[in-house]
Structure 1
Amino acid sequence: MKVCFLAILGLLSLVALAQSEGQNQSHSVTWGARIFRDMHLERAIITEKSKFLRVVSRYYNFTQIGYQRRITQIVVTDQIRNGQGGFARLEAGGPQATFAKIYFKSQRSKGFSFIVDIYGI
């Protein structure tokens, strides 16, 4: 009887784990690492609405005017955390550079919303 109870408990635990596995899928990404004395250079909110049966995309360019600071970290936070959000890809620049070009792409028939934080020294 005790073995049967443990088997049922184990089976229920595996089912609960399998169902919860897809709940917190996020497409957030971080490039580089923050270091001592770096500062927040820019925050941008990048969004695109969905289009029926289409994939939407957008580029984000970070350029500096005047004093050129070296980028140490780029943090891209996905605001749609159920696995339905888009994807981000660093196209050019980034950490150790003074500029960055990031490409955002949605899933088919979905939109996306990201927060981009850029740190530098």
Structure 2
Amino acid sequence: MKLSILLLLVAIIGFAASTNSTWGEIGPRDIVIHHSIIRRKSSSFMRIVTEDVRFPLPDETNNRTISAILVIDQLPKSKAYAQIFEGGVNFNHTLIHFKSERGKSFNFVLEIYGRP
């Protein structure tokens, strides 16, 4: 009985938690090379909203190697998530795809760290 209650509590806490993602590791000499807020509102009841974020932008260059990518969900109980589609850690570029739950919005803080 106690085990089933404990498992139920763990499931509820996990279900209610935000969807944060971390790729890589932030070292002592790493610096933030990109910081942005990625926010999209759902325009209809059953629509899924998405957004792709590319770093660096096509007209920019990045000479640092990406050491870590942090995606922090700002909405509690959100089932939105982020995925890396291109590049990422140990590359100098990345493409991150953000996707919401059906009929919901998303609000993420994106931080990309790089090493010299």
Q: How far off is 1:25 after superposition?
A: 1.5
- Equivalent residue for 1:22? 12
Q: How many residues align?
A: 110
Is residue 68 of structure 2 the alignment partner of residue 73 of structure 1?
A: yes
The TM-score, its normalising length taken from structure 2, stands at 0.82
Checking the alignment, whether the CA contact within 8 Å between 1:79 and 1:85 is kept in structure 2 is no
Structure 2, unaligned stretches of length 5 or more?
none
Structure 1 residues 20-29 or 72-81, which shifts more? 20-29
SS at 1:27 equivalent = coil
Deviations 1:26-48 (A, max 9, x none): 11100111113111111110011
Structure 1 vs Structure 2 CA RMSD = 2.2
- Equivalent residue for 1:93? 87
Is residue 44 of structure 2 the alignment partner of residue 48 of structure 1?
A: no
Between the aligned partners of 1:67 and 1:93, the Cα distance in structure 2 is 13
Identical amino acids, percent of aligned pairs: 33
Is residue 109 of structure 2 the alignment partner of residue 108 of structure 1?
A: no
Structure 1 residues 35-44 or 18-27, which shifts more? 18-27
Deviations 1:51-102 (A, max 9, x none): 31111111001117355110000000011122x2411000001111111100
The letter of the residue matching 1:22 is I
Checking the alignment, whether the CA contact within 8 Å between 1:85 and 1:113 is kept in structure 2 is no
Q: How far off is 1:114 after superposition?
A: 0.4
Structure 1 residue ranges, 4+ long, deviating more than 2 angstroms after superposition: 16-24, 64-67
Structure 1, unaligned stretches of length 5 or more?
1-6
